């Protein structure tokens, strides 16, 4: 049987390091019928056919024979105009009769990722360098100019200010005359993993999760084709976690969002079908395949058995996969083409729904057109020349694959239980005693025809917010750091061979590839456009829109400045400022300092229920106010700060 360990652990002096996976799993030299995996002994329960619960072998009965994965290439650099040209190049390079290549993925620069405008003094030297600079709705129009976003799906890799960027996107679509019913795409919007690994957070954990719930709730009512959150393990793995940690932390973060939505009173089957995931595909080929198989099995069971979802689509763990950027090497960069090809094949054999293949030059700079073309062609060759699409889950049933899938699942479930315990134990969604009800009058009703637990007659009697509790304890960072340290030690000791780095080194190497450089004129031009944009807008409307955002955060009434689809101008109140999320003392949050933004709105806090029966947003849902703010020409930085005036800014939690 497979066991999990560390090469350097006690009592392992005799373990051959070549028998141990990147994640520390010790593999047997051969697998067979003498000691079969538990799943093989319970095939209908644990494996089943493709398209059947618990979806170990895939979500759909015929896999890629009916529809290929979406080939989604990541792009973003310089100005909106620069990135728009790259988008058009990628779409033309796809040149296909299928829909496989109609996905765009947007990379934003660091100022945008941190919710700051390009003219912020903290952003000097960073504008447009690692992604595209987006400050205004005008930038959003330039970014997607001439691209039919009602036919092309768009992914946006943004987290801290995700609600603001999405609001700008929806406002831009509205101005282009496109119905929100028709636009499809994905907002990454996974703030919990920022606290674990990537550090691009703005607000404290509690209001940050609340903003994710706002977007999920808004999507469930107004944007049926949109994925409101892409729950991401990719960055956790890039920071150095093991495969099991990536899997467990990611699924448990997703469960945290589900629980927060249920606490708001949302029907699980109204939002769960549009939750999506984002995993890494690293070098350990079979481990990566098994990770995705285990992920589907765990998520399906959690959604059905722990949370009571009854819609089959709510059980689906739909995932995007990106090849491992952390595995690419600066040395001998052409080798990265080979690494990416194997990682892409693992993702496909694992059953991903969309895939991004890294470019060979990403350790040296932003990808050139030549490099992104090779990356895209890698997927196209995989799809059309290798035959991997002809049979669903061709590795399924293997003695080795089923054993390793069981092992990864077991490890991940143990970690999930550990996180649950930090919040007081697992969520337990149980019916109330006969005749008792929970008043959730401001929440969404259980959907028509749904057999999920009724939100008025069920409540959680278990723990809650285990992931946030783990953040406040420094748990996630500690676990990732320890795993990363172990891997580094193994490489330095020669137990891990990295071709071109610690073995097969070319001392006379001359890199045969070009590098894309972003000049200082990008920042100069962006700040000039931003100044011109601010000079021509209605300053009074901007201030009113920002006050509306603060009122929405508090749960106070406000009046929209623009007509929005399906929404009244008079937005409802009913939640006191004291019940709006705020940073807790001693947890790294703080109230904004004087001068960082006005909080002196005089809007009435009297009750004002929405007359539109189809629009039942929670009183503190900020999405209508943010869309209105984008239409009023508020900037990204201004809207982000307006929320910080209420929620505070987070200075970082414990590292260890």
Q: Kindly state the average pLDDT of the residues 540-559.
A: 96
The confidence band for 605, taking pLDDT boundaries of 50, 70 and 90, is very low
Which of the listed residues 366, 384, 415 is the one where a domain comes to its end? 415
**402 plus 545 within the same structural domain:** no
**Residue 365, pLDDT score:** 83
Element (H, E) at 100: none
Q: Give the span between the Cα atoms of 188 and 292, in whole angstroms.
A: 19
Residue 589 DSSP SS3: strand
**82 plus 229 within the same structural domain:** yes
The confidence band for 451, taking pLDDT boundaries of 50, 70 and 90, is low
Residue 135 lies in a domain: yes
Structural domains of the chain, count: 2
Of the given ranges (94-103, 161-170, 480-489, 581-590), which has the lowest mean pLDDT? Answer: 581-590
- Alpha helices in 108-233, H assignment, sequence order: 110-113, 137-143, 162-175, 192-193, 205-222
Residue 265 lies in a domain: yes
Residue 226 lies in a domain: yes
Residue 334 above 80 pLDDT? yes
- Could you tell me whether strands 649-650 and 589-590 are parallel, antiparallel, or unpaired per DSSP bridges? antiparallel
Q: Kindly state the average pLDDT of the residues 632-639.
A: 98
Residues 6+ apart with CB under 8 A from 487: 22, 240, 496
**Residue 406, pLDDT score:** 98
Q: Kindly state the average pLDDT of the residues 206-225.
A: 97
Q: Are 319 and 488 in contact (CB under 8 A)?
A: no
Residue 446 above 50 pLDDT? no
Q: Which 8-state DSSP code applies to residue 453?
A: P
Q: Are 559 and 548 in contact (CB under 8 A)?
A: yes
pLDDT in tens, 26-48: 999 999 999 999 999 999 999 99
**359 plus 225 within the same structural domain:** yes
**Residue 280 pairs with which residues in a beta bridge?**
322
- 202: closest CA among 279, 81, 274, 116? 116
Q: Kindly state the average pLDDT of the residues 637-646.
A: 98
pLDDT in tens, 60-77: 999 999 999 988 777 788
- Enter the pTM of the model: 0.89
Q: Are 202 and 114 in contact (CB under 8 A)?
A: yes
Task: Identify the residue whose tokens are 């040149």.
Answer: 95
**375 plus 231 within the same structural domain:** yes
Which of the listed residues 362, 380, 415 is the one where a domain comes to its end? 415
Higher pLDDT, 446 or 398: 398
Task: Identify the residue whose tokens are 């092309």.
Answer: 152
Q: Give the span between the Cα atoms of 574 and 344, in whole angstroms.
A: 50
- CA 25 to chain CA centroid, nearest Å: 27
DSSP string, 215-229: HHHHHHHH-TTEE-E
Angle at 644 between CA 643 and CA 646, to 5 degrees: 70
Q: Which two tokens stand for residue 389?
A: 């699409």
Residue 120 DSSP SS3: coil
**364 plus 230 within the same structural domain:** yes
Residue 296 above 90 pLDDT? yes
Q: Give the span between the Cα atoms of 434 and 579, in whole angstroms.
A: 29
Neighbouring CB atoms inside 10 A of 441's CB total: 10
Higher pLDDT, 448 or 281: 281
Residue 371 above 70 pLDDT? yes
**545 plus 410 within the same structural domain:** no
Task: Identify the residue whose tokens are 């709510």.
Answer: 314
Q: Which two tokens stand for residue 13?
A: 């002096």
Higher pLDDT, 368 or 162: 162
pLDDT in tens, 236-254: 999 999 999 999 999 999 9
Residue 449 above 50 pLDDT? no
How many helices (H) and strands (E) are present in the chain, helices listed first? Answer: 21, 17
Torsional class of 228: left (φ above 0), alpha (ψ -120 to 50), beta (otherwise): alpha
Q: Are 575 and 619 in contact (CB under 8 A)?
A: yes
Q: Give the span between the Cα atoms of 412 and 415, in whole angstroms.
A: 5
Q: Give the span between the Cα atoms of 68 and 65, in whole angstroms.
A: 7
**Residue 430, pLDDT score:** 78
Residue 391 lies in a domain: yes
Residue 445 above 50 pLDDT? no
Q: Are 356 and 74 in contact (CB under 8 A)?
A: yes
Higher pLDDT, 623 or 2: 623
Angle at 591 between CA 587 and CA 592, to 5 degrees: 135
Q: Give the span between the Cα atoms of 552 and 541, in whole angstroms.
A: 16
Counting residues of the chain whose pLDDT is more than 70, the rounded percentage is: 85
Task: Identify the residue whose tokens are 């028998």.
Answer: 19
DSSP string, 407-419: HHHHHHHHHHHHH
Q: Give the span between the Cα atoms of 79 and 104, in whole angstroms.
A: 17
Angle at 485 between CA 484 and CA 486, to 5 degrees: 90
Of the given ranges (190-204, 532-546, 613-627), which has the lowest mean pLDDT? Answer: 613-627
Task: Identify the residue whose tokens are 């990864």.
Answer: 408
Residue 431 DSSP SS3: strand
Radius of gyration of the chain from its Cα atoms, rounded to whole angstroms: 24
Backbone angles phi, psi at 643, to 5 degrees: -70, -35
Q: Give the span between the Cα atoms of 415 and 409, in whole angstroms.
A: 10
Residue 208 lies in a domain: yes
Residue 548 lies in a domain: yes
For the domain that residue 66 is a member of, what is the CATH number?
3.20.20.240
Counting residues of the chain whose pLDDT is more than 90, the rounded percentage is: 74
Backbone angles phi, psi at 201, to 5 degrees: -100, 160
Residue 564 lies in a domain: yes
Q: List C-alpha distances in Å: 65 to 68, 291, 293, 542.
A: 7, 22, 19, 51
Which of the listed residues 349, 384, 415 is the one where a domain comes to its end? 415
**Residue 14, pLDDT score:** 67
Q: Kindly state the average pLDDT of the residues 132-136.
A: 97
Cis amide leading into 54 (omega within 30): yes
Domain span holding position 277: 18-415
Of the given ranges (164-178, 265-279, 427-441, 535-549), which has the lowest mean pLDDT? Answer: 427-441
The confidence band for 616, taking pLDDT boundaries of 50, 70 and 90, is confident
**174 plus 308 within the same structural domain:** yes
Residues 6+ apart with CB under 8 A from 492: 502
Residue 593 above 60 pLDDT? no
Residue 32 lies in a domain: yes
Of the given ranges (86-90, 290-294, 489-493, 586-590), which has the lowest mean pLDDT? Answer: 586-590
Q: Kindly state the average pLDDT of the residues 176-182.
A: 96
Q: Which two tokens stand for residue 295?
A: 């992920």
Torsional class of 103: left (φ above 0), alpha (ψ -120 to 50), beta (otherwise): beta
Q: Give the span between the Cα atoms of 577 and 603, in whole angstroms.
A: 13
On average, the pLDDT of the chain sits at 87
Q: Give the span between the Cα atoms of 393 and 395, in whole angstroms.
A: 5
Q: Give the span between the Cα atoms of 656 and 652, in whole angstroms.
A: 12
**Residue 575, pLDDT score:** 35
How many residues would you count in the chain? 656
**Residue 456, pLDDT score:** 61
Backbone angles phi, psi at 541, to 5 degrees: -65, -35
């Amino acid at each position: 049987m497979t066991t999990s360990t560390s090469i350097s652990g006690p009592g392992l002096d005799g373990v051959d390091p070549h028998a141990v996976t990147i994640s520390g799993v010790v593999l047997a030299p051969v697998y067979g019928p003498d000691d079969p995996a538990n799943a093989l002994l319970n095939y209908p329960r644990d494996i089943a056919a493709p398209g059947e619960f618990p979806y170990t072998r895939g979500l759909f009965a015929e896999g890629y024979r009916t529809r290929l994965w979406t080939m989604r290439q990541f792009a973003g650099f310089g100005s909106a105009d620069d990135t728009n040209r790259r988008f058009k190049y990628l779409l033309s390079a796809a040149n296909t009769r299928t829909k496989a290549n109609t996905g765009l993925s947007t990379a934003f620069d660091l100022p945008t990722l941190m919710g700051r405008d390009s003219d912020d003094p903290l952003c000097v030297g960073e504008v447009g360098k690692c992604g595209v600079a987006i400050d205004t709705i005008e930038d959003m129009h330039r970014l997607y100019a001439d691209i039919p976003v009602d036919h092309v799906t768009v992914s946006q890799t943004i987290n801290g200010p995700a609600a603001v960027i999405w609001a700008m996107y929806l406002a831009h679509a509205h101005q282009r005359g496109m119905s929100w019913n028709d636009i499809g795409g994905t907002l990454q919007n996974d703030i919990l993993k920022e606290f674990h690994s990537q550090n691009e957070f703005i607000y404290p954990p509690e209001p940050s999760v609340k903003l994710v719930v706002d977007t999920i709730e808004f999507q469930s009512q107004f944007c049926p084709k949109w994925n409101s959150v892409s729950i991401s393990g990719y960055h956790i793995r890039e920071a150095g976690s093991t495969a099991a940690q990536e899997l467990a932390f990611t699924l448990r973060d997703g469960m945290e969002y589900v629980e927060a939505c249920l606490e708001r009173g949302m029907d699980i089957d109204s939002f769960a079908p549009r939750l999506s995931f984002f995993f890494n595909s690293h070098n350990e080929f079979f481990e990566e395949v098994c990770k995705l198989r285990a992920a589907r099995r765990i998520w399906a069971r959690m959604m059905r058995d722990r949370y009571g979802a009854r819609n089959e689509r709510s059980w689906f763990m739909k995932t995007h996969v990106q090849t491992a950027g952390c595995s690419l090497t600066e040395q001998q960069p052409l080798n990265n083409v080979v690494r990416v090809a194997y990682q892409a094949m693992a993702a496909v054999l694992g059953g991903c729904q969309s895939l991004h293949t890294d470019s060979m030059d990403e350790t040296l700079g932003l990808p050139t057109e030549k490099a992104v073309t090779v990356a895209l062609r890698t997927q196209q060759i995989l799809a059309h020349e290798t035959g991997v699409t002809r049979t669903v889950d061709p590795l399924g049933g293997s003695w080795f694959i089923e054993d390793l899938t069981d092992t990864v699942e077991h490890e991940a479930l143990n970690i999930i239980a550990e996180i649950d315990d930090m919040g007081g134990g697992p969520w337990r969604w149980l019916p109330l005693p006969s005749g008792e009800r929970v008043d959730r009058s401001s929440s969404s009703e259980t959907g028509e025809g749904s057999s999920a637990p009724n939100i008025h007659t069920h409540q959680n009697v278990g723990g809650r917010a285990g992931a946030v509790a783990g953040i406040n304890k420094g748990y996630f960072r500690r676990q990732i750091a320890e795993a990363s340290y172990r891997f580094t030690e193994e490489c330095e000791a020669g137990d891990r061979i990295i071709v071109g780095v610690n073995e097969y080194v070319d001392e006379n190497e001359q890199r045969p590839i070009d590098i894309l450089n972003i000049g200082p004129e990008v920042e100069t031009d962006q700040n000039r456009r931003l100044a011109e944009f601010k000079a021509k807008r209605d300053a009074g409307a901007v201030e009113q829109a920002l006050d509306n955002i603060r009122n929405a955060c508090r749960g106070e009434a406000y009046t929209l400045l623009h007509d929005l689809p399906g929404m009244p101008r008079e937005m409802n109140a009913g939640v006191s400022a004291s019940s709006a999320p705020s940073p807790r003392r001693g947890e790294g949050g703080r109230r904004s300092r004087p001068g960082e933004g006005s909080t002196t709105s005089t809007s009435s806090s009297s009750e004002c229920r929405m007359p539109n029966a189809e629009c039942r947003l929670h009183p503190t849902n900020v999405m209508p106010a943010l869309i209105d703010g984008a239409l009023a020409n508020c900037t990204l930085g201004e809207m982000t700060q307006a929320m910080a005036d209420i929620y505070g800014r987070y200075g970082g939690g414990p590292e260890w």
